[in-house]
């Protein structure tokens, strides 16, 4: 029994030593990362923070600081992911959670969403920040600004949609008018072609008919004239003798 107790005590001491070493290693890397971050060495700071996270995978501070380093590198999507993980780690502690840390996490998320014009998500992030720190005037100002920007964005989108609808209607009307004009022009052209061709045929037919009538009249007149002339010649060439 005594050997078992000594063995258990030894294991406990070993776990405590390992945990203490891990905590010291985490703190050392966090401090190193903070110095690098302050000197604007954001890539080096990210590496140090990740080493701190390796020492303590439950370190919400390390995760949060990685998010800050990624934000300074303009890797916004990765930063948002880190902030979300940091918030989950901190909220999982429930009674031990650090509300100020949560307020900072959500505030930073709101700033990134606002910069990306995703105002709805920014508003939700700022509200979460204020729930954890209601006295933060900067977050409250950012919230009011994001709400105004969201309203302006919605109004602009509505106006743009209305303009697009009006433009589509105008284009449809123009197309209809163009089609009607083309139909009218085609109909006018057909009517014109018909008017140009059909009267010519009628005139030609009327001309031939008139010509035939005139020719017949001339021939009739000529026949009558010849008959008269023949009668006159007969009369002139003959002596009239009166029978007494």
Q: What is the pLDDT, as a whole number, of residue 57?
A: 94
Q: Are both 73 and 118 inside the same structural domain?
A: no
Distance (Å, whole) CA 23 – CA 56: 7
Range of the domain at 124: 98-158
Q: What is the pLDDT, as a whole number, of residue 136?
A: 95
124, 133, 38, 142: which is closest to 84 by C-alpha?
A: 124
Distance (Å, whole) CA 149 – CA 171: 32
Last-in-domain residue among 158, 184, 201: 158
In a domain, residue 205? The reply is no
Distance (Å, whole) CA 110 – CA 60: 18
Q: At 131, which CATH number?
A: 1.25.40.10
Digit-coded pLDDT (tens) for 115-135: 999 999 999 999 999 999 999
Q: Are both 12 and 45 inside the same structural domain?
A: yes
In a domain, residue 48? The reply is yes
Name the region of 94 (left: φ>0; alpha: ψ -120 to 50; beta: rest).
left
Digit-coded pLDDT (tens) for 36-53: 999 999 999 999 999 999
Sequence length of the chain is: 244
In a domain, residue 149? The reply is yes
Q: Are both 109 and 152 inside the same structural domain?
A: yes
Does pLDDT of 148 surpass 60? yes
Digit-coded pLDDT (tens) for 59-95: 999 999 999 999 999 999 999 999 999 999 999 886 6
Digit-coded pLDDT (tens) for 194-216: 655 544 444 444 456 665 676 67
Last-in-domain residue among 111, 127, 158: 158
Q: Are both 69 and 115 inside the same structural domain?
A: no
| Neighbour count for residue 35 (Cβ, 10 Å) | 13
| Neighbour count for residue 54 (Cβ, 10 Å) | 14
Contacts for 36 with CB less than 8 Å, ≥ 6 apart: 42, 44, 45, 48
124, 111, 116, 128: which is closest to 153 by C-alpha?
A: 116
């Amino acid at each position: 029994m005594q050997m078992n107790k000594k063995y258990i005590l030894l294991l406990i001491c070993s776990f405590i030593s390992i945990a203490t070493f891990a905590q010291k290693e985490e703190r050392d890397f966090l401090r190193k990362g903070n110095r690098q971050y302050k000197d604007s060495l954001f890539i080096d700071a990210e590496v140090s923070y990740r080493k701190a996270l390796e020492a303590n995978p439950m370190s919400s501070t390390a995760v949060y600081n990685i998010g800050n380093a990624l934000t300074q590198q303009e890797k916004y999507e990765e930063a948002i992911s880190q902030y979300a993980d940091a918030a989950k780690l901190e909220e999982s502690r429930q009674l031990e959670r650090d509300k100020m840390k949560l307020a900072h996490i959500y505030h930073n998320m709101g700033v990134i969403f606002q910069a990306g014009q995703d105002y709805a998500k920014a508003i939700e992030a700022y509200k979460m920040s204020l729930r954890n720190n209601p006295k933060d005037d900067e977050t409250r100002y950012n919230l009011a600004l994001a709400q105004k920007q969201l309203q302006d964005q919605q109004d602009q989108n509505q106006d743009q949609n209305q303009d697009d609808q009006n433009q589509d209607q105008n284009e449809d009307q123009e197309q209809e008018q163009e089609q009607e004009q083309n139909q009218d022009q085609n109909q006018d052209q057909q009517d014109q072609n018909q008017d140009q061709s059909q009267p010519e045929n009628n005139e030609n037919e009327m001309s031939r008919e008139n010509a035939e009538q005139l020719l017949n009249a001339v021939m009739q007149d000529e026949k009558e004239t010849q008959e008269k002339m023949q009668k006159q010649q007969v009369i002139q060439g003959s002596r009239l003798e009166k029978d007494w």
